[in-house]
């Protein structure tokens, strides 16, 4: 959660104009009666959530940010996908309830993966970063798979991402009386990019 | 994960203490309470009333057992969201509420194929309990079900509506000559009164069953059997993690648990362990209990659960409707395969789908986003296939400790040749079904579902942990009532059978207490 709400607003507002339009659409739907209060609270908090680095070193955190931008392309000023991961590692809790028995604990596995990226990774071009990521995808397969899955969960759970893939399932307070193909409610037609 | 902060005023003179409130512990708890016995249950997780359920997968992570487990073998299992629940109601808080009955031959694999083991009970032993559970939960299902023995009573409610994936699967199967039927689901197509809870709302087609039901339509244990149990005097203590069973003169007579960082004890004349096929053997192995047969932790099983996904032109909105609305059991027996599988249509929530797609295909970058832009057009089919017990699949304790200082479990799991043949057969069939209706971007996720075995039931104490009802062969005062007792996996989703076994165990326990 962001502790400095003024800064958060600033960060959120600093994205491209398209982003602020999308943000407006998301907020309008979240504040409508189609969303239950408990769901609204969760998604509003996530929309602007920013988490300070707690666990990884600054260099590791910067590498993770750069890698995440390539793995799940996004603007880090708009969506924080690495803060939750860092916070999870800090908590010592498992992210998903299991890990491969032949892999070290998540924190160690992720740190090893980040360390295996080439020097100056954060300043490489996007294509060079992709090439480096493909290399660690082979050399550190388990850790790469876990990292990709964890980042994908956070990224696709974000209200802006969900808006962009045309997902409206959270607006379920009225129920979904029609469930057949192409049987859309008005709020499904109007919301999100498709 | 603390429960209510109110201090717990512990009950005394308990007849029975149940550990775990999932599909194993809950029906039994209710039956014992209704019969007038003094009972209580300890549950590691907390209460998750429908009104507190958000329509958001990440927010609902608290429904899952997230203590880390180590997955070994050629087919390492995903735990957590895939199969492991936590909370008052256990895994039924996030089950998809599929409730097909097992077929009579599921219980006799050894007799039919010379492989696996027979159960120490028959379909006829479970049939009255199946019917009772279906009526009590309020299962919605078709007027006539094409497979298995004829039903004595129809399902209580009409089948739920078919969503996009279900209708596509119906069309594809019809073209292929495969019979389908609306599935039996323990979610209400009509409102229903539930003793101890009140009126349960009809399903609103909010396809979030696997992240918890917010309207009370889905028959999770908390709003059905546990509500009934509490209405009849059962005590349910949540946020209570059991660390040890207590014994006096070799007889189990209670449990030690930690709640709000405080250790407490409860005594009871009989203890029923219903913590599931991972935590039950984990506790027993730590204490070296119930294991004269050496079978605790052995024969771990998980259903063949391969999923095939595709995208179509139609706008399907896979977040709508009961996820598994359509079923076929035409593949219950297949040439060259021991046992068989059933087919189910699949809707899916977006985060689950994205994470599975990323992990399963290792797609990332813009390609991942491009694929997910088609989310609204995604439809799935999956199978639920039998799994034989094997020597090479087992649970053991490791030297790695969890946050409580308890050893993490390591679960070895590798499909045998039979499961591989079954999985290949299923994947080929599902791919062809989706291709036949013009689906694109078809991909398969090899997967195993549920946690089964590790404390199996059988008549012979030399090779089984519990008897045909769940009483532990070598340890007086202790019963096991959960899916760890399954001798073989059965070719159906396990919850309904588990609840039927739970009521049957309760009736026998009452009989023995009163004998």
Q: Residue B7: its pLDDT value, please?
A: 56
The pLDDT-based confidence of B331 (bands split at 50, 70, 90) is very high
B384 token code pair: 């639920």
Q: What number of other Cβ atoms are within 10 A of residue B177's Cβ? A: 7
pLDDT tens digit sequence for B334-376: 999 999 999 999 999 999 999 999 999 999 999 999 999 999 9
Residue A11 in this model has a pLDDT that exceeds 50: no
A104 to chain B, closest Cα gap in Å: 10
Q: Residue A15: its pLDDT value, please?
A: 46
CB pairs under 8 A between A and B: 181
Contact B81 A96 (CB under 8 A): yes
Contact B350 A188 (CB under 8 A): no
Q: Does A166 touch chain B (CB under 8 A)?
A: yes
Mean pLDDT of B71-84: 93
Q: Residue A10: its pLDDT value, please?
A: 42
| Mean pLDDT, rounded, of chain A | 91
The pLDDT-based confidence of A16 (bands split at 50, 70, 90) is low
Q: Where are the alpha helices (DSSP H) in B331-373?
A: 350-361, 366-372
pLDDT tens digit sequence for B411-443: 999 999 999 999 999 999 999 999 999 999 999
Largest CA distance in chain B: 68
pLDDT tens digit sequence for B303-328: 999 999 999 999 999 999 999 999 99
Q: Residue B23: its pLDDT value, please?
A: 98
pLDDT tens digit sequence for A132-158: 999 999 999 999 999 999 999 999 999
Contact B56 A170 (CB under 8 A): yes
The CA distance from B454 to B87, in Å, is: 22
The CA distance from A16 to A70, in Å, is: 19
B13 token code pair: 């003179």
The number of helices, as runs of H, and strands, as runs of E, in chain B is 10, 22
ipTM of the complex: 0.95
Contact A96 B53 (CB under 8 A): no
Residue A71 in this model has a pLDDT that exceeds 80: yes
B57 to chain A, closest Cα gap in Å: 8
Give B284's Cβ-side CA count (13 Å radius): 35
pLDDT tens digit sequence for B202-226: 999 999 999 999 999 999 999 999 9
CATH number belonging to domain B14-53+84-514: 3.50.50.60
pLDDT tens digit sequence for B136-161: 999 999 999 999 999 999 999 999 99
- Which of A179, A190, A191, A192 to probe by mutation at the B interface, max B CB count within 10 Å? A179
A68 token code pair: 């995440």
pLDDT tens digit sequence for A90-127: 998 888 999 999 999 999 999 999 999 999 999 999 99
Contact A165 B375 (CB under 8 A): yes
- Which residue from B68, B205, B358 is facing A179, i.e. has the nearest CB? B205
B77 token code pair: 């299992």
The pLDDT-based confidence of B2 (bands split at 50, 70, 90) is very low
B214 token code pair: 């917010």
Give B13's Cβ-side CA count (13 Å radius): 2
Nearest Cα to Cα of residue B155 among B183, B176, B175, B179: B183
The pLDDT-based confidence of A8 (bands split at 50, 70, 90) is very low
pTM for this predicted structure: 0.95
DSSP 8-class letter at B428: H
Dump the DSSP string for B279-316.
HHHHHHHHHT-S-TTS-TT-S-EEEE--EEEEE-SS--
The CA distance from B469 to A95, in Å, is: 37
Q: Which residues pair with B266 in a beta bridge?
A: B255
Mean pLDDT of B463-480: 98
Q: Which residues pair with B382 in a beta bridge?
A: B307, B344
Contact A166 B375 (CB under 8 A): yes
Q: Residue A20: its pLDDT value, please?
A: 87
What CA–CA distances, in Å, run from B479 to B194, B307, B460, B512?
Answer: 28, 35, 16, 12
Domain locations along chain B: 14-53+84-514
Are B28 and B505 contacting, i.e. CB atoms less than 8 angstroms apart?
Answer: yes
Residue B403 in this model has a pLDDT that exceeds 90: no
Mean pLDDT of B499-513: 98
> Nearest residue of A to residue B75 by CA position?
A100
Mean pLDDT of B171-178: 98
Contact B320 A149 (CB under 8 A): no
Q: Residue B504: its pLDDT value, please?
A: 98
Q: Residue B123: its pLDDT value, please?
A: 98
Please report, in angstroms and rounded to a whole number, the separation of the first and last CA atoms in chain B: 40
Contacts of A38 in chain B (CB under 8 A): 51-54, 214
The percent of residues above 90 in pLDDT, for chain B, comes to 97
Contact A179 B317 (CB under 8 A): yes
Mean pLDDT of B268-292: 98
The CA distance from B21 to B274, in Å, is: 7
Q: Residue A93: its pLDDT value, please?
A: 87
Q: Does A137 touch chain B (CB under 8 A)?
A: yes
Q: Residue B5: its pLDDT value, please?
A: 55
Mean pLDDT of A82-86: 98
Q: Which of A15-24, B29-38, B125-134 has the lowest mean pLDDT?
A: A15-24
């Amino acid at each position: 959660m962001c502790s400095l709400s003024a800064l958060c607003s600033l960060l959120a507002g600093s994205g491209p104009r398209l982003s602020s339009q999308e943000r407006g659409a998301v907020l309008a739907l979240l504040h409508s009666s189609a969303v239950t209060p408990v769901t609204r609270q969760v998604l509003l908090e996530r929309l602007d959530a920013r988490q300070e680095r707690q666990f990884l070193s600054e260099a590791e955190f910067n590498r993770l940010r750069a890698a995440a931008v390539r793995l799940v392309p996004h603007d880090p000023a708009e969506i924080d996908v690495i803060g939750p991961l860092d916070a999870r590692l800090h908590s010592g809790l498992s992210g998903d309830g299991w890990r491969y028995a032949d892999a070290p604990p998540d924190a160690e596995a992720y740190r090893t993966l980040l360390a295996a990226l080439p020097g100056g990774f954060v300043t490489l071009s996007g294509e060079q970063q992709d090439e480096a990521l493909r290399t660690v995808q082979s050399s550190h397969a388990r850790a790469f798979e876990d990292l990709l899955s964890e980042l994908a969960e956070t990224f696709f759970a974000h209200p802006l991402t969900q808006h962009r893939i045309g997902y409206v399932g959270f607006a379920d307070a009225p129920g979904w009386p029609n469930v057949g193909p192409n049987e859309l409610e008005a709020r499904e037609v109007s919301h999100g990019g498709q | 994960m603390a429960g209510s902060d109110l201090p717990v005023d512990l009950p005394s003179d308990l007849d029975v203490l149940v550990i775990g409130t999932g599909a194993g512990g809950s029906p039994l708890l209710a039956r014992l309470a209704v019969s007038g016995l003094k009972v209580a249950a300890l549950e590691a997780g907390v209460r998750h009333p429908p009104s507190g359920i958000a329509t958001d997968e990440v927010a609902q992570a608290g429904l899952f057992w997230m203590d880390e487990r180590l997955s070994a073998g050629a087919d390492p299992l995903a735990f957590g969201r895939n199969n492991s629940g936590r909370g008052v109601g256990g895994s039924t808080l996030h089950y998809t509420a599929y409730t097909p009955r097992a077929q009579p031959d599921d219980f006799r694999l050894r007799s039919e194929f010379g492989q696996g083991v027979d159960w120490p009970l028959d379909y006829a032993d479970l049939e009255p309990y199946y019917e009772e559970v279906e009526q009590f939960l309020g299962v919605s299902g078709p007027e006539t079900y094409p497979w298995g023995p004829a039903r004595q009573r129809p399902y209580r409610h009409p089948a739920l509506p078919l969503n996009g994936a279900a209708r596509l699967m119906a069309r594809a199967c019809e073209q292929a000559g495969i019979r389908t039927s609306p599935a039996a689901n323990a979610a209400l197509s009509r409102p229903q009164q539930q003793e101890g809870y009140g009126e349960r709302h009809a399903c609103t087609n909010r396809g979030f069953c696997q992240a918890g039901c917010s309207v009370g339509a889905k028959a999770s244990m908390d709003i059905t059997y546990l509500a009934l149990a509490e209405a009849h005097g059962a005590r349910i203590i949540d946020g209570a993690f059991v660390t040890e069973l207590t014994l006096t003169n070799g007889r189990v007579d209670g449990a030690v648990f930690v709640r709000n960082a405080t250790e407490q004890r409860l005594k009871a004349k009989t203890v029923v362990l219903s913590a599931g096929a991972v935590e039950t053997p984990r506790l027993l192995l730590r204490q070296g209990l119930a294991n004269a047969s050496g079978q605790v932790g052995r024969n771990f099983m998980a259903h063949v659960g391969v999923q095939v996904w595709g995208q179509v032109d139609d706008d399907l909105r896979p977040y709508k409707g009961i996820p598994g609305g359509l079923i076929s059991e035409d593949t219950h027996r297949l040439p060259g395969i021991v046992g068989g599988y059933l087919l189910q249509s699949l809707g899916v929530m977006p985060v689950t789908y994205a994470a599975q797609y990323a992990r399963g295909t290792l797609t990332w970058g813009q390609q991942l986003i491009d694929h997910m832009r088609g989310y609204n057009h995604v439809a799935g089919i999956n199978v639920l296939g039998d799994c034989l017990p094997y020597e090479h699949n087992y649970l053991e304790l490791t030297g790695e400790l969890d946050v409580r200082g308890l050893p993490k479990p390591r679960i070895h799991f590798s499909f045998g040749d039979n499961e591989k043949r079954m999985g290949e057969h299923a994947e080929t069939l599902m791919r062809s079904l989706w291709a036949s209706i013009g689906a694109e971007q078809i991909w398969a996720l090899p997967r195993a579902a549920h946690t089964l075995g590790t404390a199996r039931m059988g008549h012979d104490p030399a090779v089984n942990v519990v008897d045909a009802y769940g009483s532990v062969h070598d340890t007086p005062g202790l019963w096991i009532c959960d899916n760890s007792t399954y001798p073989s996996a059965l070719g159906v989703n396990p919850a309904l059978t588990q609840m039927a076994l739970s009521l049957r165990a309760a009736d026998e326990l009452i009989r023995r207490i009163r004998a």
